[in-house]
Copies of this chain bind each other. A is one copy, B any other.
Amino acid sequence: MEYLLRDLKVVINDKIYLKDPESSTLGKKIVEYSILLINDIGFEGFTFKKLGEQIGSNESSIYRYFENKHKLLLYLASWYWGWLEYQLVFMTNSISNPTEKLKKTIEIITQTVKEDSSFSHINEVLLHKIVINEYSKSYLTKEVDKENKEGYFLIYKRLVTRIKDMIINVNPGYKYPSSLSSTVMEGALHQYFLKDHFSSLTDCDKDSSPTAYFVDLVFNSINNNN
């Protein structure tokens, strides 16, 4: 796994950035420390000025990489979903049994994230937390339709489509494959959030994982032909 990914780059829609942050030391630093800083103070409190102070760089230099912090969030999220997609594709590629394949996929999507040494400047564990806490804000905007047309949510949509297709492969008669797939993708983030902040609203805790819940949910839904 680590081998396979070692020289890969998560490919992100180049309209999201002004200059590819992977192309320079400063760019990588921006990505690396924005993850730390957003985690620390939250997306609302996060500014390019504060990030500049953290990395000893000027605000104006950061603006040469990203138009604004919203675009940076889109970048981080796209990176996360692209990284997850790699995991998913590699780890399920060899599975031919549709049920097994779907089960493994749900596991990967809903699991807690472990650090991945393949991308040294990106802390995937913290990035997962950012996605849990901030991802919704990247699309709950007045610009969502325009930005969707520009392809900013492509990787996320591709992931939902992949799961949808696997659901159909298990049961072509199931009536809501897209909705179920999007429910798992969004619901996984939500259950992690509830676990941390509204524990009475979830059954997920140290003894029970979101994965167990979603595997149960999905297979009960699609195995019931009614």
Residues of A within 8 A of B (CB): 41-42, 44-45, 133-134, 136-137, 139-142, 144-145, 148, 153, 157, 160-161, 175-183, 186-187, 190-191, 193-194, 197-198, 200-204, 208, 210, 213, 216-217, 220-221, 223-224, 226
Contact = CB atoms under 8 A, between A and B. Distances in A.
A128 to B, nearest CB: 15
A197 B148 contact: yes
27 contacts: A42-B142, A134-B140, A136-B140, A140-B193, A144-B197, A145-B197, A157-B200, A175-B216, A176-B208, A176-B213, A176-B216, A178-B201, A178-B203, A179-B194, A179-B202, A179-B203, A179-B213, A180-B213, A180-B217, A181-B201, A182-B190, A182-B198, A186-B187, A216-B221, A220-B221, A221-B221, A224-B224
A184 to B, nearest CB: 10
B187 A183 contact: yes
Nearest to A181: B201
B203 A175 contact: yes
Main secondary structure of the interface of A (DSSP, over half): helix
Copies per complex of this chain: 2
A191 B180 CA distance: 10
Given A157-B201, A180-B217, A141 B44 contact: yes
Given A41-B142, A145-B197, A220-B221, 4 more contacts: A42-B142, A153-B198, A176-B203, A180-B213
